[in-house]
């Protein structure tokens, strides 16, 4: 199994393609087509922070992405995906800080994703309590979501953009194990 970092204009070469943060402007139609084709062919896609917005723009994940506030922890929930299968549900993982991306979707859409087990991470406090104030939309609690197959995953947590903390180590462990069994 080959893992590749997506670069605009470059061919998608890899079984797993990571769409990183910091890609800049809105994706070109050809880039969106390439991401959709990769997913249709059974490839795995992992969007990190602002990279999730590209997966949303391609229609591979619902909703949109906006700039987000700093968060401190995420709680694993939902069904297992190709990227999170080895992380037990309910585990609380600290984030290294910094502002990540914020998921934006209608309340009814967030409820539907939760009912389908497609919200794979939620922002929370150190005890696992979901961070939802009266001024926060339910979508603001979403730290990670997947498509119906679990092969397309978007992680909005700031640490996901660096893969340099406990969440990042857990994601890499899942990928390494998947590569070893392929």
| pLDDT tens, residue by residue, 5-50 | 888 888 888 888 989 888 877 888 999 999 999 999 999 999 988 8
- Say if CB 72 and CB 95 are below 8 A apart: yes
pLDDT tens, position by position, 99-125:
678 899 988 899 999 999 999 999 888
Is a pLDDT exceeding 90 seen at residue 55? yes
What mean pLDDT is predicted for residues 140-157? 90
Is a pLDDT exceeding 90 seen at residue 69? no
Average pLDDT, the chain: 83
Give the Cβ contact number of residue 176 at 10 Å: 13
Is a pLDDT exceeding 50 seen at residue 157? yes
Kind and range of the H or E element at 177?
helix 166-181
- Tokens 């947590």 belong to which residue? 157
| Residue 53 vs residue 13, higher pLDDT | 53
Buried/exposed code over 138-168 (b: 16+ C-beta within 10 A; e: otherwise): bbbbbbbbbbeebbbbbbbbbbbbbbebbbb
| pTM of the shown model | 0.88
Please tell me the predicted confidence (pLDDT) of residue 14: 82
E strands in 80-137: 92-94, 99-104, 119-124
Number of domains in the chain: 1
Please tell me the predicted confidence (pLDDT) of residue 164: 60
Give the Cβ contact number of residue 115 at 10 Å: 9
Which of the 8 DSSP states describes residue 126? T
Give the Cβ contact number of residue 41 at 10 Å: 9
Please tell me the predicted confidence (pLDDT) of residue 139: 82
Which of the 8 DSSP states describes residue 130? B
pLDDT tens, position by position, 88-104:
899 998 887 666 788 99
Tell me, what CATH number does 121's domain have? 3.40.50.880
Please tell me the predicted confidence (pLDDT) of residue 152: 96
- Which structural domain range is residue 131 located in? 3-181
Token pair for 71: 């968060």
CA distance 35 to 38: 5
CA distance 133 to 121: 18
CA distance 87 to 84: 6
């Amino acid at each position: 199994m080959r893992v590749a970092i997506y670069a605009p204009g470059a061919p998608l070469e890899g079984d797993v393609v990571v769409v990183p943060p910091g890609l800049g402007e809105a994706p070109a139609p050809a880039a969106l087509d390439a991401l959709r084709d990769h997913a249709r062919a059974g490839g795995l896609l992992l969007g990190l922070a602002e990279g999730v917005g590209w997966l949303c723009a391609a229609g591979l994940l619902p909703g949109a992405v906006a700039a987000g506030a700093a968060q401190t922890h995420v709680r694993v929930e939902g069904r297992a995906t190709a990227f999170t299968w080895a992380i037990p549900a309910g585990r609380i993982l600290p984030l290294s800080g910094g502002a990540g991306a914020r998921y934006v979707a209608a309340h009814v859409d967030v409820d539907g994703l939760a009912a389908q087990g497609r919200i794979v991470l939620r922002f929370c406090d150190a005890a696992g309590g979901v961070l939802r104030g009266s001024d926060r939309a339910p979508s603001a609690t979403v730290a990670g979501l997947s498509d119906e197959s679990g092969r397309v995953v978007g992680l909005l947590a700031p640490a996901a953009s660096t893969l340099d903390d406990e969440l990042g180590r857990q994601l890499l462990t899942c990928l390494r194990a998947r590569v070893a069994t392929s």
